[in-house]
Amino acid sequence: MTCRIVNLGLPKSGTTTLGTALERAGLTVADHKIRRGQCNDPALAGSFVGKQIYAGYFECGDPLAKLDIYDALGEISALKPPASYWPQCDYLILQAMRRARPETRFVATRRPTEDTASSMRRWGNLGTQRLPNGSVPGLPHGFGAEPGALERWIDGHYAMLAEVFAGDPAYLELDVGAGDAAAQVAGHLSLDIPWWGKANENTTNPEAAA
């Protein structure tokens, strides 16, 4: 097996929706953490996907070297202080993936910026404490809590990806709410997508209550 699909979207951008769709298409997907039931290697099981991306890069120059037990990677970031892994925001890692795995297909899930920022603020303490108090590429410690800051960071992330991958057919920025989202994914990955919907919705702290 070779990891051949990587989602570069930010948290709350539809990463779980894409991961679920790929799983229902028959692929093995790592989302945020490596599930213990999917991996017999004690060095990998239970660890963050983002950590293993960096481990692969610094050990051999291939960020995906340790993740070939999967077909695809869903959410690849992690922020659980002191751990902070954001390979989708890291130019060095993006270019290393492209060099080491030229066959890899990249997707960047996206929702409207205001909706993504709102979801981050309402998802536990992600947008109100962990991001402002963390150390994240483009959002250093002490920034993110002020009005408009998360929105500016989110827009900056996708603008950076658009510049890095300009004209590259291996890259797809995907509006997960688009009526043809499943068709876009299917065409980009040459894969039948039997399901598309919403996964990992915040039902305990909905948008209307924010």
pLDDT in tens, 4-15: 999 999 999 999
Instruction: Tell me the CATH number for domain 5-193.
Output: 3.40.50.300
Is the per-residue pLDDT at 75 higher than 60?
A: yes
Structural tokens at position 50: 């983002």
pLDDT in tens, 129-175: 999 999 899 999 999 999 999 999 999 999 999 999 999 999 999 99
pTM of the model: 0.91
Percentage of the chain surpassing pLDDT 70?
94
Compare 39 and 136 and report the one with higher pLDDT: 136
Single-letter residue type at 18: L
**What pLDDT, on a 0 to 100 scale, did the predictor assign at position 169?**
97
- For 42-74, give one letter per residue: b (16+ CB within 10 A) or e: eebeebbbbbbbbbbbeeeebbbbbbebbbbbb
Domain extent listing, the chain:
5-193
How far apart CA 145 and CA 93 sit, in angstroms, is: 27
Q: Is the dihedral of CA 191, 194, 200, 205 positive or negative?
A: positive
* Angle of the 149-164 helix axis to the 91-100 helix axis, nearest 10: 30
Looking at residue 205, its pLDDT comes to 61
Determine what percent of the chain falls in helix, strand and coil, rounding each to the nearest 5: 40, 15, 45
Give me the sign of the Cα torsion angle 41, 31, 37, 5. negative
- Structure confidence at residue 10 (pLDDT): 97
Distance CA 58, CA 174 (A): 30
pLDDT tier for residue 208 given thresholds of 50, 70 and 90: very low
Predicted pLDDT of residue 206 = 56
Distance CA 169, CA 60 (A): 26
210 or 60, greater pLDDT:
60
